[in-house]
Amino acid sequence: MPKALVDFLTVLLNGVTLAALYFVVASGFTLIFGLMRTTNMAHGSLYMLGAYAGVSAYTATGNWLIALVAGFAVVVVVGVVIHLGLLSRMAGQDLRQALVTIGLSIIIADLLLAKYGGLTFQIEPPSVATGSVAIPFVVNGTYSAYRLFMIAVAAAVYGGLWLVLNRTRIGWYIRAGIDDRDMLSALGVNVSRVFLFVFALGAGLAGLSGVIGTTALSISPGEDGRYLLSSLVVVIVGGMGSLGGAVIGALIIGLSEQIGLFYAPTYSIFITFVIMAAVLAVRPQGLLGRPA
């Protein structure tokens, strides 16, 4: 195979695996927005909280799966507290909720800085996904097993969310709530409890993705802003509140970042935002979003 093609295929795979991470991070963000119309600006900090919780659990046990569960569980609990303590008191006031979450994001990030300091942490991949796998069409003929594993994780998250949304009673409520909150409430559904469930789940997904991202890359102060931004771009491109949109948005952003980094490194950050601006100009609601 010619080298240029091998290079290109490798970069595509890099883009898809990065997109898998971006999707898992953005899925919780878009879920919360879809139902609650709340832009959860603390999403990046919840990612970081999950990541550090995972680091602590991994240091204590040396088990990746326990770290993953810890990252998810800790942030679910924090999500429940945030929702009950703050957001549910200002239900329906989207702007106030967004502002409160900005404040929370700063507080959480600073508390984490105080506890963990500025050092960089990593989590070792689970034993099923260590080392590299032989793939004939990539550079060197091998590829990081963990990055392929991330695709499987993203697919599992997508599948799980799809099942919850489409095959369960709470999924009916959520989808109905996305269309018309007031009517759902009038039908006797306890909407605030549905909100609580969705917020906790979305927060938990942020925590889960924190552990996944820390294993693939690393965690250090400042990562919160990066992942909040990537989530925002992914859901803006894909369409706020749409799971399929998040998949497409993550793919576009992941691929454009990696292709940019390979072929035009100086402009790789720029390319991402050109795509976002172009999508906003042509389809302000995002590729799969519905007009507000």
Partner 1 sequence: MFGAKTGRGLVALMFVASIAASACGGSSGGDKVIKIGGLATLSGPFAVPGQDGFRGVEQALAKYGKKLASGNWQMDGYQIQLIKEGSDATPAVALEKAKKLIEQDNVDILIGPLSGDEGLAVKDYAKTVPDKTFVNGSSAAQDTTFRDAAPNFFRFSTDGAQWMAGLGKYAFTTKGYKNVAIVAEDYSFPYTQVGGFMYEFCAAGGHVVQKNWVPLGTKDYSSVVSNLPTSGVDAIYVALGGSDAVNFFTQYNQAGGKAKFIGGSITVDQSVLSVTGSFKDQLAGTIAAGPTADSATNQEWLDYVKAYKAQFTDGLPFPGLFALSYYNETIGVLEGLKAVKGDLSNKEAAFMAALAKVSFDGPTGHVSLDANRQAISSNYVTEVQKGADGNLQNVVISKADNVDQTLGLGATSPFLAQPVSRDFPSCP
Residues that bind partner 1 (CB under 8 A): 7, 10-11, 14-15, 17-18, 113, 117-122, 124, 131-132, 138-140, 142-147, 216-218, 220-222, 226, 257-259, 261-262, 265-266, 268-269
Q: Shortest approach of partner 1 to residue 279 CB, angstroms?
A: 22
Q: Shortest approach of partner 1 to residue 263 CB, angstroms?
A: 9
| Sequence-ordered alpha helix ranges (H) in 37-144 | 43-61, 64-85, 94-116
Q: Which is nearer to partner 1, 149 or 199 (CB)?
A: 149
Q: Shortest approach of partner 1 to residue 1 CB, angstroms?
A: 14
Q: Which is nearer to partner 1, 119 or 292 (CB)?
A: 119
Contact (Cβ atoms closer than 8 angstroms) between residue 26 and residue 251: no
Q: Which is nearer to partner 1, 85 or 118 (CB)?
A: 118
Q: Which is nearer to partner 1, 38 or 256 (CB)?
A: 256
Q: Shortest approach of partner 1 to residue 237 CB, angstroms?
A: 18
Q: Shortest approach of partner 1 to residue 7 CB, angstroms?
A: 7
Residue 60 and residue 82: Cα distance in Å, rounded? 27
* 4-18 burial code (b ≥16 CB/10 A, e <16): eebeebbbbbbbbbb
Please tell me what DSSP assigns to residue 62. Answer: -
What separation in angstroms does the CA of 62 have from each of 120, 146, 214, 258? 17, 17, 14, 31
Q: Which is nearer to partner 1, 66 or 145 (CB)?
A: 145
Contact (Cβ atoms closer than 8 angstroms) between residue 262 and residue 11: yes
